Structure 1
Amino acid sequence: MDPAELFAQLRRDPDVDAPDLVAVDATDRLLLDEAAADLREHPEGVAVLDDAYGALTLGAVALHGVTRPRVHQDALVGELALARNAERVGLADSYDGLPLGPELVRGTRVVLARAPKSLHALRELAEVVAADAAPDATLYVGARVKHMTHAMNDVLGLAFTDVSATLARQKSRVLVARGPRPVEHTFPRCREDDDLGLVVCAHGAAFAGAKVDRGTRALLGVLPKAVPEAAVALDLGCGTGVLAGELARARPGLTVFASDQSAAACASARATAAANELADRVEVRRDDAAGSLPEGSVDLVVCNPPFHVGTTVAENAAERLFAGAARVLRPGGELWCVWNSHLSHRPALQRIVGPTRQVSRDRTFTVTASTRR
């Protein structure tokens, strides 16, 4: 298949769309080109990590003859997009989706990865590959040049003996790591927050790591006021599960759900709940905008929504969560949301959920409560 023909068929659906957001980019193309010889030499020993929407997986299969690559995508919308794109181009059931762990990379000779946003996520990825891939495995990590730093080489150097960089092309570059070192898995990492007395656990790709970010702290400060009579609550976009954990600790009779589309976030939230002896109180679900919860089943939703898609600012990313909250809230239930004060979320909250009031505000963060009509 011609690359242009293949890539022209790929879509971002069901992820958010915008003029500057694409399903295939220069990094995808460069990764496939740089790894082409290895992919053809080892077609049955390939793993793909954090393929955005399927370009790497489907490109490896259709363009280089790779057989059933093993694929892990942290983002659930990426998994769904890959499945839909595979169906669209006639390659359904051509790959195996697996969690980030030994089975994903065991015995593989070639690993393709889009660079994650954080160095912690890159380190966990490198640890998994170095520990369980074949001794002669090569890891290709691609990113936009503007998002790459020398620290990425250093992180890969902790798990591989040889790390080099390709020439840049169309503002993208690939780091090539060879010679896996003997390494131990260092994730999840846990630490106790002194102010909360809560142990926070985080896998590499979890937002804020094992710390409590300032937005979450702003919401925690007013959380006791949030629908005190609630019977069922949801921490939507839960991250490491701090809000869910605090709700469960403070309200023994409350049923608490925590959901996130990130596999790393869900694993982190489960680890946080377990570390605080709350595993039987917090049910964690990997979900796209609370899609698995019944309509009108929740009294309180708490949310610290993202405003980026990858490294691109996209305020409408939060609106998918607002719509999810509106669907699962019972009439009269409330969404308590924290957001950067410079953003204009209030009109969207009023349109999507219902009447919205300000609970607190400072120069950095605003907390609002929106009542489901």
Structure 2
Amino acid sequence: MSDQSDHAHPEPVIDVILREIADTDAPISRAAVVDAADGHLTSAMATLASESPRTTCDTGFDTNMTGIVVDLPELVTPATSLVVGYLPKSLAELDEIAATVAAGAASDCILMLGGREKHLVRAMNDVLGRYFESVRASRGARKSRVLVASAPRQGSSVPYPVANTHPELGLTVCAHGGTFAANTLDIGTRALLETLGALPGGRLQHPDLPRAPECAVDLGCGSGILAAVLAQSYPDADVIATDRSWSACASATATANANGLTNLRVLRADAGRGIDRDSVDLVLCNPPFHEGRDVDNGMSNAMFAAAGRMLRPGGICITVFNSHLRHRKYLEHYIGETTQLARNDKFTVTLSRR
């Protein structure tokens, strides 16, 4: 077994990416990085290149990053010769990354995306093959491997966001590749909307909801379905769709535009930062409990705390969550008295009043 000193980097996926760059003598002077929130891959690449790489992270970086930080559509330029990054969990997100690189980078650009071997599937090669003439896997090291795509296909374009019309909502829903549930109506959101009488028709009708809220928030908006339903239901309200993900916010913006919802605005922020304290009448929330491939049952607490902060006294938060999660006690702690509106084996819907 090799000693740790033999490794190019302590993180296995970064290590295998750096090894592949060294083994193939890949160009690093005009590099770009699809990174994780910790920014470690960008930092590693910055030590190799003569100039700071362009870098992106869908959910933003945990610390201030030096260099050129951009969103995915601006990641590459016609001069970009190498793009490295992490393989995403979603094939749709991988598709958008590959399309963005193939359509915008240099004609000889190489794309290297690394991941743990247990997470690699053959379909990833197929996705990359839509946009590159050559796709191969690197040698494995430390239970990690790199997929290497080269020779971008001429005429490649980026087919995102993709739209889907939902007659039962009266909405066209748009989504980028990294957005949870894409442009579909996920079953948790469906449970919340059914509980609030919004299906069919796309208009909220529950008697406990405020009749004429001045401000309503879709907290953790994803593609913006809940925000769009809020905007349809309350045309005189200021509706805010907020998420920390670029993909989600770009999707929600496209959904608002596709449906002509001029009272809906999008705020990219972690846990609704930037929304004033005591300024909101109604929050709808379908909180995540996954961070990429990692399960974190406590992720929702920051969102519950944000809801409690932004709600006016008497304001309400409607939340849907997997029934096995014990969120009710946290909702009561961060927001206030919480009652159950609906429950089945899969989902629970609650109302919390500040």
TM-score by length of 2: 0.91
> 1:35: which partner in 2?
21
Does the CA-based 8 Å contact 1:50-1:72 persist in structure 2?
yes
For 2:16, the aligned partner's letter is: L
> 1:193: which partner in 2?
166
> 2:200: which partner in 1?
none
Q: What SS does the corresponding residue of 2:149 show, helix, strand or coil?
A: strand
Does the CA-based 8 Å contact 1:98-1:104 persist in structure 2?
no
* Superposition pairs of residues 200-279 of structure 1, within 5 angstroms: 200-221=173-194, 222=196, 223-225=204-206, 226-278=209-261
Q: What SS does the corresponding residue of 2:84 show, helix, strand or coil?
A: strand
Q: Deviations over 1:27-59 (max 9, x none)?
A: 122222322466x76343000013331111001
Does the CA-based 8 Å contact 1:46-1:66 persist in structure 2?
no
> 2:297: which partner in 1?
315
Does the CA-based 8 Å contact 2:35-2:41 persist in structure 1?
no
Query: Quick one: which of 324, 328, 350 aligns to 1:346?
Result: 328
Q: In structure 1, how many angstroms separate the alpha carbons of the residues matched to 2:50 and 2:175?
A: 33
2:34 aligned with 1:49, yes or no? yes
Q: In structure 2, how many angstroms separate the alpha carbons of the residues matched to 1:46 and 1:186?
A: 24
> 1:289: which partner in 2?
271
Does the CA-based 8 Å contact 1:60-1:66 persist in structure 2?
no
For 1:246, the aligned partner's letter is: V
Does the CA-based 8 Å contact 1:105-1:128 persist in structure 2?
no
For 1:255, the aligned partner's letter is: D
**CA deviation after TM superposition for structure 1 residue 352, in Å:** 1.6
Q: In structure 2, how many angstroms separate the alpha carbons of the residues matched to 1:202 and 1:313?
A: 23
For 2:79, the aligned partner's letter is: G
* Superposition pairs of residues 1-373 of structure 1, within 5 angstroms: 25-36=11-22, 42-62=27-47, 64-76=48-60, 79=61, 81-83=62-64, 86=65, 93=66, 95-102=67-74, 104-182=76-154, 183-221=156-194, 222=196, 223-225=204-206, 226-278=209-261, 280-372=262-354
For 1:49, the aligned partner's letter is: V
Structure 2 residue ranges without an equivalent (≥5): 197-203
Does the CA-based 8 Å contact 2:32-2:80 persist in structure 1?
yes
For 2:332, the aligned partner's letter is: Q
Residue-pair matches, total: 338
**CA deviation after TM superposition for structure 1 residue 254, in Å:** 1.5
Q: In structure 2, how many angstroms separate the alpha carbons of the residues matched to 1:198 and 1:34?
A: 46
* Range moving further from structure 2, 25-34 or 153-162: 25-34
**CA deviation after TM superposition for structure 1 residue 292, in Å:** 0.9
Q: What SS does the corresponding residue of 2:266 show, helix, strand or coil?
A: strand
Identical-residue share of aligned pairs (%): 42
* Range moving further from structure 2, 222-231 or 183-192: 222-231
Q: What SS does the corresponding residue of 2:283 show, helix, strand or coil?
A: strand
TM-score by length of 1: 0.86
Q: Deviations over 1:261-316 (max 9, x none)?
A: 010000000000111111x2101011000011111111111110001111111011
Q: 1:224 to 1:36 in 2, by over 3 A?
A: farther
Q: 1:295 to 1:199 in 2, by over 3 A?
A: same
Q: In structure 2, how many angstroms separate the alpha carbons of the residues matched to 1:164 and 1:130?
A: 16
Q: What SS does the corresponding residue of 2:270 show, helix, strand or coil?
A: coil
Q: 1:327 to 1:36 in 2, by over 3 A?
A: farther
Does the CA-based 8 Å contact 1:165-1:173 persist in structure 2?
yes
Does the CA-based 8 Å contact 2:32-2:75 persist in structure 1?
no
**CA deviation after TM superposition for structure 1 residue 212, in Å:** 0.7
Does the CA-based 8 Å contact 1:138-1:178 persist in structure 2?
yes
Does the CA-based 8 Å contact 2:35-2:42 persist in structure 1?
no
Structure 1 residue ranges without an equivalent (≥5): 9-23, 87-92
* Range moving further from structure 2, 351-360 or 104-113: 104-113
Q: In structure 2, how many angstroms separate the alpha carbons of the residues matched to 1:307 and 1:288?
A: 15
Q: In structure 1, how many angstroms separate the alpha carbons of the residues matched to 2:341 and 2:70?
A: 42
For 1:296, the aligned partner's letter is: D
Q: In structure 2, how many angstroms separate the alpha carbons of the residues matched to 1:52 and 1:145?
A: 21
* The structure with more helix, counted as a fraction of residues: 1
Q: In structure 2, how many angstroms separate the alpha carbons of the residues matched to 1:349 and 1:281?
A: 28
Q: In structure 1, how many angstroms separate the alpha carbons of the residues matched to 2:214 and 2:128?
A: 47
Q: In structure 2, how many angstroms separate the alpha carbons of the residues matched to 1:29 and 1:66?
A: 20
For 1:118, the aligned partner's letter is: S
Instruction: Note the aligned Cα RMSD (angstroms).
Output: 1.9
Does the CA-based 8 Å contact 2:236-2:263 persist in structure 1?
no
**CA deviation after TM superposition for structure 1 residue 194, in Å:** 2.7
For 1:219, the aligned partner's letter is: L
Does the CA-based 8 Å contact 1:322-1:352 persist in structure 2?
yes
